[in-house]
Amino acid sequence: MPSHSRLGPRAEVLRGTLEMLALKLLNEEPAHGWGLSLRLREISRDVFDVNQGSLYPALQAMLRRGWIRAEWRASENNRRARYYSVTAEGQKQLDAEIAEWNRASAAVNRVLRHAYLGA
Amino acid sequence: MAWYHEVASSLGAVFRRRSQDRDLQEEVQFHLEMEAKRRVDSGMTPTQARATARRDFGGVERHKDDTRDERGAGGFFDAWSDVRFAVRSLAHRPGLTLAATLTLALGIGATSTVFSVVKHVLLTPLPYDRPEGVVAVWSAWKGFDRTWLSYDEWEGWKARVAAFSDIALYTDGAATIDGDSPQRVAAANVQANLFSVLGVRAERGRTFTPDEDRPGGPTVALLSHELWERRFGSDPAVIGQKIQVSGNSTLIVGVLPADFKLPIDYSSGRRTDLYAPMQLDATRAGAVPGPAFPRGGASHGFYSVARLAPGATAATANAQLRTLVAELEKFGYMANRSFHAFTIPIEEQITGPVRPVLLIVFGAVVLVLLIACANVAGLLLVRGEARRRELAVRVALGAGSTRLARLLITESGVLATLGAAAGVVFATVTVRLLRSHAPPGLPRVAETSIDWTVLAFALITAVLTALLTGILPLVHAEALAPSRELREGGRGSTSGRARLQWRQALVAVEIALAVVLVAGSGLMIRTVRNLLSIDPGFNADGVLTMSVSTPSNWYPDSIRVVAFWNDLQQRAAAIPGVKRVAAVRLLPLATEMGDWGLTVEGYTPPPNQGTPGDWQVVTPGYFETMGVNVRKGRPFSAGDDMSGPLAMIVNRAFVQEYLSGREPIGVRVRIGARDTTKKYTIVGVAEDVHHNSLTGSVKPMFYATLAQFAAAPGSTRRTMSLVVKTDGDPNALIGPVRAAVRSADSRLAVSEVKSMREIVDGAIGGQRFAMQTLSIFGLVALLLSAIGIFGIVSQVVASRFHEFGIRAALGATPRDLLAIGLQSGLRQAATGLAIGIVAALALTRALHSLVHGVSTTDPLTFVAVVSVTGVVAVLASLLPAARAARIDPNTALRVD
């Protein structure tokens, strides 16, 4: 897929994470793109403020895979906005990714701790 | 991740592109506005807020693009954009595009046409159930390679050949559907089991019951689908109704399926429209009752088909027949006549004669397609030359080599698609032409039509064509180095030279292929000339023929039949432009003729052999009308009628066989072996007429007049062909002669209206078809090669414009320059000729079964081929080379 080749390997990792975080936030509460982007920035304290636009390809990819669905609804200030919510499949995916993340980060932490202790 | 989400998403991406794009636009707009509003709320000026919101979003269009890509179906959109690019760039060069499209259309169209014929003739199953289990059964003996069965043989084979599960007889004939507009139709008498042997059910109603096929059974008939449609307007009520057929009230019991044809219909080119049960009387039809055989022999006159028993093949049936025939020979059946019986799988019998012709024509058309591809590849190469800079810029801008390859292949793909579309239109027209001008004697060609398999074939051909024409320009594009291309002016580069060499090779290949085709057509032209130069023993020029029958309910006796023909001949002779008129039982080269046993005074046949003579019944004036030379004695005259002494005219073969060394005139001959028959006296000797085939040997034949043949042996010929001779165009007489028949008896139907020339042409239909198609393909091949040579020489002259200018300035005469230009074209021509001759010598062997009177390596033909191709090459080189000769050094050196 052309978009992937244009992103560097680091961005690729970042994007995988972005998808997981978006899925997590949407699972708590359906949101439109801008709302999601805002919450992501607030909660992560602007770590994910690099490029707001990159959220949309990520959402589209998750739509394509059937993890989330989209529908047009009235927003809080009564404008038409596209709301995303997590599907049952997305739920499963999120559980799997969180488990995987926990496993991986625990491993990374163990290695770091070991390296620190060993130094 | 479930695949159906992906598929749904891809489909949405393709089919709901616009609405999805609108959604995306609105979503992004919403985002930017909300973000800007948030920033205004926290104290920014609106302009500042909008600008920073946009900046933090990142490239709006890039993110939109990425989002679109995530919808899926990316490959589709890439390909689509390639196609659009190819179409745009082809539209920039309308001349080249038109030339390439027309060339490919010609190639693909011609190939598809021939394929549709091959498919319908060779690949479409016959309209019988499991046709591989159906065989035709034949008898053969000295002088008859493949002839009818006798009733005794049918009885014998039915009872004793275990390889047959059933065997049926039929005969062909004609009948008249009476009414206000009487119609003469081809008819057949069939045994009731014929339809079960062929595995065919009636489309409506039923086929015959065994009860209807008994002697004295009811008068019933089956209609062909076509007759039911044409004559009865597809009225289902006709079934169960009685109609008048040849004067008899006949019950229609059913209609046969639309595609059904009798096996014999395929080779005779006619379509049997009416079927009646044979109602054979075993006690009369067979010489001895039951599955036994008479000593000596019997009359043969039935066509036969058999259904093989489960597990049996034509070979097992043939082996069993051989054993039986060996037994019969010992017993004395058809003794000393090398009698044998054999089967041929029905498919082989029907398509066998046409198969070699079609395969050759198909091979030829594939060569034409290859030449067309070579030509288009050459055109694209030249275009590649002009586009090197453009392509180099693309590579420099980051187009990968696969991207470039895709672009070029897409371009030839678009050309091939255009070519295929135009080719299908072309094929539709030619197939229609073929149907209306179906060569006689080629079974099933007239059934050809364009259907989806032909379209699929055209598509596959187009794909192959795209690959063939795209591959060369591609190989060159792969070697593209932008740094060099962009630095060079492009003139005289080494890769340009390599490209020219490729083109030269292509042109040499084209010429080689053209030589093969021209050689093939040359051999066929000579064959057809040889066949036409065979003296058939008659003069077909200006002779119109048509068949007329005098049914027994209106003409109960021979006196009335003879009177009718006298009357009709007088009426026809009165038509302005008519020189002579006569009638004949069987037209030469139209219908095969059987023989009759004779007793020739003073001639004793070898033991157990008869004195057979092919029997021809005519009216006085026949020899003059048909231009048959009477070499000795006299032709028939008006006096050879019912009251006159019985007069016989024999052919030269008759004299050689039975009367060698004797004076033939005055010899007395009895038709039949029974002493009760009156004797004829030979009054003349006629030139041999090739009756059954142009190339076969002529058998002994005798002629008697219609009137006298009714007296002895007592057979009234009820169907005769009227022959009318004119100095002008015989077809111009069709109307007046038909009118003459109507005025003589309006109830009679006329059929098989043909000129004698058509009949002769039909006898060599296969060879003529091969000659015509190979000649057309040969011409097309020459034309395409000429275009190829023209292109090459033009390119050489153009690329050496500078050099020619210098040469001219240094004193080269126009003639010198012309020679250099010509040389560049003729070198390829010579190479192509050499390769082509070798290939042709090898390939024309395929024509072996078709040629007549000429060897497939005929030196004269090959010399002619070399000259013709050489002349075409010179002519094609001359025009562009002349440009070289006209070069003005001042202009040539001023370029750049």
Quote the crossing angle between the two packed helices B801-809 and B814-843, to the nearest 10°: 130
Tokens 């070198």 belong to which residue? B827
Question: CA of A45 to nearest chain B CA: how many angstroms apart?
Answer: 15
Q: Tell me the C-alpha distance between B643 and B624, whole Å.
A: 23
CB distance B794 to B880 below 8 Å: yes
Residue B700 — pLDDT band, cuts 50, 70, 90?
very high
Per-residue pLDDT reduced to its tens digit, B509-519: 888 888 888 88
Per-residue pLDDT reduced to its tens digit, B27-78: 888 988 888 888 899 888 999 998 988 888 887 787 887 787 777 766 666 6
Q: Mean pLDDT throughout B184-210?
A: 92
The radius of gyration computed from the CA coordinates of chain A, to the nearest angstrom, equals 16
Question: B631 — phi, psi (to 5°)?
Answer: -80, -25
Q: Do A34 and B9 touch (CB under 8 A)?
A: no
State yes or no: pLDDT of B486 exceeds 70: no
Residues of A in contact with B41 (CB under 8 A): none
Question: CA of A48 to nearest chain B CA: how many angstroms apart?
Answer: 11
pLDDT for residue A7 = 43
Q: What torsion, rounded to 10 degrees, do the Cα atoms B486, B487, B489, B495 define?
A: -80
pLDDT for residue B583 = 96
Q: Tell me the C-alpha distance between B758 and B546, whole Å.
A: 12
The alpha helices in B479-493, defined as continuous H runs, are: 482-487
Instruction: State chain B's mean pLDDT as an integer.
Output: 84
Q: Using a pLDDT cut of 70, give the percent of chain B over it.
A: 90
Question: B221 — phi, psi (to 5°)?
Answer: -155, 155
Per-residue pLDDT reduced to its tens digit, B544-557: 999 888 877 788 89
Per-residue pLDDT reduced to its tens digit, B846-856: 888 788 888 88
Per-residue pLDDT reduced to its tens digit, B766-784: 778 888 888 888 888 888 8
Of B386-395, B507-516, B533-542, B646-655, give the range with the top mean pLDDT.
B646-655
A60 touches chain B (CB under 8 A): yes
Q: Do B58 and A61 touch (CB under 8 A)?
A: no
Using DSSP, state whether B469 is helix, strand or coil.
helix
Q: Tell me the C-alpha distance between B872 and B788, whole Å.
A: 11
Query: Could you tell me the sign of the dihedral formed by the alpha carbons of A11, A16, A17, A18, in that order?
Result: positive
Q: Mean pLDDT throughout B84-105?
A: 82
Q: Tell me the C-alpha distance between B259 and B5, whole Å.
A: 48
State yes or no: pLDDT of B141 exceeds 80: no
Q: How many other C-beta atoms can be found within 10 angstroms of the C-beta atom of residue A115?
A: 9
Q: Do A81 and B30 touch (CB under 8 A)?
A: yes
pLDDT for residue A57 = 85
Spatial neighbors of B353 by CB under 8 A, at least 6 apart, are: B267, B441, B442, B443, B766
Of B187-191, B285-289, B367-371, B622-626, the least confident: B285-289
Q: CA nearest B9 in A: which residue?
A: A64
CB distance B163 to B312 below 8 Å: yes
B400 touches chain A (CB under 8 A): no
Q: Which two tokens stand for residue B602?
A: 């003073």
Residue B170 — pLDDT band, cuts 50, 70, 90?
very high
B867 alpha-carbon distance from chain centroid:
30
Spatial neighbors of A83 by CB under 8 A, at least 6 apart, are: A30, A31, A32, A70, A71, A72, A73
pLDDT for residue B253 = 94
Using DSSP, state whether B276 is helix, strand or coil.
strand
pLDDT for residue B476 = 67
Q: Tell me the C-alpha distance between B853 and B533, whole Å.
A: 11
Using DSSP, state whether B499 is helix, strand or coil.
helix
Q: How many other C-beta atoms can be found within 10 angstroms of the C-beta atom of residue B616?
A: 21
State yes or no: pLDDT of B571 exceeds 90: yes
Q: Do A34 and B34 touch (CB under 8 A)?
A: yes
CB distance B888 to B808 below 8 Å: yes
Q: Do A56 and B38 touch (CB under 8 A)?
A: no
Q: Tell me the C-alpha distance between B601 and B297, whole Å.
A: 22
Q: Tell me the C-alpha distance between A102 and A116, whole Å.
A: 20
Residue that wins the pLDDT comparison between B88 and B76: B88
Burial of B254 (0-12, 13-18, 19+ CB in 10 A): buried
B611 alpha-carbon distance from chain centroid:
41
Q: CA nearest B11 in A: which residue?
A: A64
Of A92-96, B253-257, B748-752, the least confident: B748-752
What is the CA angle B24-B25-B31, rounded to 5? 90
CB distance B874 to B785 below 8 Å: no
Q: Do A79 and B30 touch (CB under 8 A)?
A: yes
C-alpha distances in angstroms, B751 versus A99, B143, B183, B720? 91, 31, 8, 11
Q: Tell me the C-alpha distance between B658 and B665, whole Å.
A: 13
Residues of B in contact with A33 (CB under 8 A): 27, 30-31
CATH code, A80: 1.10.10.10
| Total structural domains within chain A | 1
Q: Mean pLDDT throughout B178-193?
A: 88
Question: Whose CA is closest to B598, among B693, B492, B672?
Answer: B672
A101 alpha-carbon distance from chain centroid:
13
Residue B892 — pLDDT band, cuts 50, 70, 90?
low
Q: Tell me the C-alpha distance between B893 and B896, whole Å.
A: 8
Using DSSP, state whether B210 is helix, strand or coil.
helix
CB distance B544 to B737 below 8 Å: yes
Per-residue pLDDT reduced to its tens digit, B669-679: 998 766 667 89
A15 touches chain B (CB under 8 A): no
State yes or no: pLDDT of B108 exceeds 70: yes
Q: Tell me the C-alpha distance between A20 and B764, whole Å.
A: 81
Q: CA nearest A61 in B: which residue?
A: B70
DSSP string covering B641-663: SSSSPPEEEEEHHHHHHHSTTS-
Side chain identity at residue B737, one-letter code:
V
Residue B633 — pLDDT band, cuts 50, 70, 90?
very high
The alpha helices in B437-493, defined as continuous H runs, are: 452-478, 482-487
pLDDT below 50 — which residues of chain A? 1-10, 119
A10 touches chain B (CB under 8 A): no
> Is the pTM higher than 0.90?
no
State yes or no: pLDDT of B110 exceeds 70: yes
Q: Mean pLDDT throughout B477-482?
A: 58
Where exactly are the structural domains of chain B?
Answer: 3-72, 143-337, 355-532+765-894, 551-747
Q: Closest partner residue to B70 among A33, A61, A82, by Cβ?
A: A61
B2 touches chain A (CB under 8 A): yes
pLDDT for residue A14 = 63
Q: CA nearest A33 in B: which residue?
A: B31
CB distance A23 to A68 below 8 Å: yes
Q: Tell me the C-alpha distance between A93 and A68, whole Å.
A: 10
A18: containing domain: 2-118
User: Which ipTM value was assigned to this complex?
Assistant: 0.83
CB distance B159 to B320 below 8 Å: no
pLDDT for residue A112 = 85
Could you give the count of Cα atoms lying within 13 Å of B57 in the half-sphere of its Cβ? 26
Residues of chain A numbered 16-35 and touching chain B (CB < 8 Å):
32-34
Question: Whose CA is closest to B674, among B606, B595, B614, B596?
Answer: B596
CB distance B599 to B648 below 8 Å: no
Quote the crossing angle between the two packed helices B60-70 and A55-65, to the nearest 10°: 10
CB distance B12 to B78 below 8 Å: no
pLDDT for residue B770 = 81
Element spanning B751, H or E: strand B750-755
Residues of B in contact with A63 (CB under 8 A): 9, 70
Question: Whose CA is closest to B794, among B825, B817, B819?
Answer: B825
Q: How many other C-beta atoms can be found within 10 angstroms of the C-beta atom of residue B811?
A: 8
CB distance B293 to B133 below 8 Å: no
The DSSP code for B203 is S
pLDDT for residue B439 = 65
